[in-house]
Amino acid sequence: MPRDSIKWLYMAKATTTLSTTSSSSSPSRIYFLGIALTMAALFFIMADSLTEKLVNQGDPAAAFSVKTDQGKEITLKNYPGKVLVLNFWASWCKPCVDEMPSLNEFSKRMAPEGVTVLGISVDHDEAKYKKFLKDANIAFQTYRDVKADIAASYGTFKYPETYIIDKQGKVVEKIIGEEFWLNPNVIQRIRRLL
């Protein structure tokens, strides 16, 4: 066999071997690449879902809609031009219980000026919740959010926590912990929003 023919056969065999090796590893490479891309996408989706949703000062208030224990429908949309004091609490939370008398009196004083107080409780026990409202003679609108969905939409997990929402639906103040609502400074800060 001439030398060029042998060379040609050798090159043909090498090319065939190379293309066979490449084509057999190509599906596995594509498979592993697909798995890697899927894993990366899942990682980013999970990371985003695990990120805390926090509503802070300056943020738009998270939308919600509740029918209060008093039968009133409350959403952010039906409060344009009004100030809303959104208080998250529970009857088993000592700082919440300690804060209630001043918040209750604050709501009575400020309601005629256009301030609405909405207390959203995360109590699971309906009987204890209702007993507390009755015993404390709560005058402001209340709602029991058993699953704490609204609290979660604000990123609230410590109680009490209160959001002062201005006439445009923006959070102007976030108060973490107990507040004395009859403090003249607190009342003055709220009146500036009216």
Q: What is the pLDDT of residues 114-154, one digit of tens each?
A: 999 999 999 999 999 999 999 999 999 999 998 899 999 99
End-to-end C-alpha distance for the chain, whole angstroms: 102
The answer to whether the peptide bond before residue 160 is cis (omega within 30 degrees of 0) is: yes
65-191 belongs to which CATH class? alpha beta
Per-residue pLDDT, averaged over 74-86, amounts to 84
